[in-house]
A and B are shown apart, each in its own frame.
Chain A
Amino acid sequence: MSALPPPPPPPSADPGVEPMVQLTNVSKVFGDVVAVSDVSFAVGPGVTALLGPNGAGKSTLFRLLCGLTPPSKGEVRVLGSDARRDREVRGRIGLVGQEDGLFDRLSAFRFVEIAAATHGMVDPARVAVESLAEVDLDADDPKPLGSYSKGMRQRVKVATGLVNDPDVLVLDEPLAGLDPVQRRRMISLFHRLGDEGRCVLVSSHVLDEVAKIGSRVLVIAQGRLAATGDYRDLRGLMDDRPHRIRLSVDDPRALAARLIESGTAVAVRIDGEALVADTLDLDRFGRVIAPMARDSGVRLREVLPLDDDLESVFRYLVEGR
């Protein structure tokens, strides 16, 4: 796992094999907003997770990849071509976007059948039935999509993304709205597709979700590729980084001195009646803080971890702290 600055184009998952998706120094600017900044990566067959907080640029990256928007700078190649220009390549991509828009007055079957027909599949009706079965939906359900729950709509979108047997399957937050059983089934489907030699790219902002989706991870934060590599390395990085804790106390100065003196904290900051401490050993900190406060005659009102979330990991990766 490498923190910023990101390396030049990282190698494909399988060195020696030409990547199925390759981005080289890609940037995308919308007016004054830099959505994606100088991103380079290459991925081959298998499941790759794109991890990043909301607004990090994951969806924009996927839109670039599918050719839905052109890059402001750099080059995007999918199966060796630019999907925006190459009609044939567009037929080999499956996209499950984050947008909730569907043709709401159609049934799931009609919607997926139309998707198959627009991909030129022979016997679109059969393809629609098979694709809906992959996501546990009933092709005979006559209800319009407008009456479907968020989870069901999400599964319809995944079925639509599968109709053309895509070589590259791009899934933007595909597990959103699904119940735990459906999540497991969906993740197992992604792995099967990856094992078949397809390039499956899945985005998520939930770290634990990514742990199940794929071991190969691209971390994106603030539009930049913050890290690439194996999920286990990312997890390790989370565990190794300093943890920040906010302590509400009646005498922050006294407790701050004790924390530094004992080596329990590596840095402290007084914030009004609170003390913000950075520690490298969270377990030890938890064990000693109450006795230490008592021995120092300090009243401890609240202990609040400030960075026990994914955002802080990204911040750590991006800002190097």
Chain B
Amino acid sequence: MTAVATPRRERHSVSAVSTFALTYRIFVREVITRARIIALSMLGIVVVVVGWAVGMSDSSDLPLDALDNGVHLTVRLCLTVVVPVVALVFAAGVLGNSRDDGTLVYLWLRPLRRWPIALGAYASALTIIAPLTIVPIVVSAILIDPSSTLFLAVLMSSAVAVVGYTGMFVLLGSLLRKSIVWGLAYIIIWEGIASSLGKAAARLSIRGYASSILSERTGVSVDTFSVSQAWGIAVPVAVAAVAIMLTAIRLDRVDVA
């Protein structure tokens, strides 16, 4: 080896925890933009308004009771549209944007392990997506039916959906350049249409498992396959874990601009 200048400055190896913390802070700051927060908060407000409108309606005008309404609204609007769309915008943008704008190199060309970067990206997306989705969905549910049955069921199912979708879309953002387009296509075609038409498709969708939790806890049928609550939680969590792992592998192999 050739003569190399003696480093003037001291350094230490960067631990996985430090890598995670650094990555998390960077991504949280980069992903939150005023325009995104305003646009997606509007979506949350729409959910609350719809919940309020349904809750205020005279129950004699409605074909189902309040609990049924709350469950169906959560499945059709919240788990099928609100959670996946908000998750897509923020989660796919975490790594996707930094790759597109050339800032990924500031994390990539460093003596850092890849998996804490992937985990930091996931955690930062989750930090933003969870309050933007779960809060309005739960508020909407309370406005429809103030019982604790619906409240807890909606809280759990939306939280599980957020965990699963966020993992999938962080991975998608690291894999594809036009991740928003592909992600929307996936949400509409698979999560929206296919999973509501057949049990096999529902079994391969995040919405299927989140809906299953809702159904299991409230006793309201939502035209989907049925699994135990434990499986309903475990599968989306496992999807997120595998997605983080694949994101780390992808980071190791990606072409960085």
Chain B contacts of A114 at CB under 8 A? 22, 26, 106
Say how far A161's CB is from chain B's closest CB, in angstroms: 10
In whole angstroms, what is the CA distance A90 to B109 when docked?
A: 6
Chain A contacts of B106 at CB under 8 A? 103, 114-115, 118, 160
Q: Choose from A14, A66, A103 the contact partner of B109 (Cβ within 8 Å).
A: A66
Please provide the chain B residues from 85 to 102 with a CB less than 8 Å away from any CB of chain A in the complex: 101-102
Asked, given contacts A99-B105, A121-B10, whether A88 binds B256 with beta carbons under 8 Å apart, the answer is no
Residue B257 at the A interface, CB < 8 A?
yes
Q: Choose from B1, B10, B14, B109 the contact partner of A93 (Cβ within 8 Å).
A: B109
Asked, given contacts A67-B109, A165-B7, A197-B3, whether A100 binds B102 with beta carbons under 8 Å apart, the answer is yes
Asked, given contacts A20-B4, A68-B105, A198-B5, whether A119 binds B255 with beta carbons under 8 Å apart, the answer is no
Query: Are A197 and B113 in touch, CB under 8 angstroms?
Result: no
In whole angstroms, what is the CA distance A279 to B2 when docked?
A: 46
In whole angstroms, what is the CA distance A87 to B255 when docked?
A: 16
Interface of A is mostly: loop
Q: Choose from B14, B108, B256 the contact partner of A120 (Cβ within 8 Å).
A: B14
Chain B contacts of A115 at CB under 8 A? 106
Please provide the chain A residues from 162 to 195 with a CB less than 8 Å away from any CB of chain B in the complex: 164-165, 167
Residue with the greatest number of chain A CB neighbours at <10 A, chosen from B5, B19, B26? B5
CB-CB nearest in chain A for B99: A101
Q: Choose from A79, A119, A121, A160 the contact partner of B4 (Cβ within 8 Å).
A: A79
Residue A38 at the B interface, CB < 8 A?
no
Query: Are A106 and B29 in touch, CB under 8 angstroms?
Result: yes
In whole angstroms, what is the CA distance A101 to B97 when docked?
A: 11
A-contact 0/1 string along B12-32, CB 8 Å cutoff: 111000110010001001100
Asked, given contacts A90-B109, A118-B14, A122-B10, whether A103 binds B26 with beta carbons under 8 Å apart, the answer is yes
Residue B63 at the A interface, CB < 8 A?
no
CB-CB nearest in chain A for B101: A101
Asked, given contacts A95-B105, A119-B111, whether A165 binds B9 with beta carbons under 8 Å apart, the answer is yes
Chain B contacts of A67 at CB under 8 A? 109
CB-CB nearest in chain B for A18: B2
In whole angstroms, what is the CA distance A284 to B110 when docked?
A: 57
Residue A45 at the B interface, CB < 8 A?
yes
Query: Are A97 and B26 in touch, CB under 8 angstroms?
Result: no
A-contact 0/1 string along B100-123, CB 8 Å cutoff: 011101111111110000000000
Residue A211 at the B interface, CB < 8 A?
no
Q: Choose from B1, B30, B107, B111 the contact partner of A87 (Cβ within 8 Å).
A: B111
> What is the size category of the interface that chain A forms with chain B?
35 or more
Q: Choose from A68, A127, A160, A198 the contact partner of B256 (Cβ within 8 Å).
A: A68
Query: Are A90 and B22 in touch, CB under 8 angstroms?
Result: no
Query: Are A105 and B30 in touch, CB under 8 angstroms?
Result: yes
In whole angstroms, what is the CA distance A164 to B8 when docked?
A: 9
Chain B contacts of A18 at CB under 8 A? 1-2
In whole angstroms, what is the CA distance A198 to B113 when docked?
A: 26
Residue with the greatest number of chain A CB neighbours at <10 A, chosen from B101, B111, B112? B111
Please provide the chain A residues from 8 to 42 with a CB less than 8 Å away from any CB of chain B in the complex: 14, 17-20
In whole angstroms, what is the CA distance A100 to B10 when docked?
A: 29
Q: Choose from A87, A106, A197 the contact partner of B5 (Cβ within 8 Å).
A: A197
Q: Contacts A99-B257, A100-B102, A122-B12 given; 16 further ones with Cβ under 8 A?
A: A17-B3, A19-B2, A44-B2, A69-B256, A79-B1, A79-B4, A87-B112, A87-B113, A97-B257, A99-B102, A103-B29, A103-B106, A117-B18, A120-B12, A120-B13, A121-B9
B residues near A, CB below 8 A? 1-5, 7-14, 18-19, 22, 26, 29-30, 101-103, 105-113, 255-257
Q: List, sorted by A's number, 23 A–B pairs whose CB atoms are closer than 8 Å.
A: A18-B1, A79-B1, A95-B109, A97-B105, A97-B257, A99-B257, A102-B103, A103-B26, A118-B14, A119-B110, A120-B18, A121-B10, A122-B9, A122-B10, A127-B9, A164-B11, A165-B5, A167-B5, A196-B5, A197-B4, A197-B5, A198-B4, A198-B5
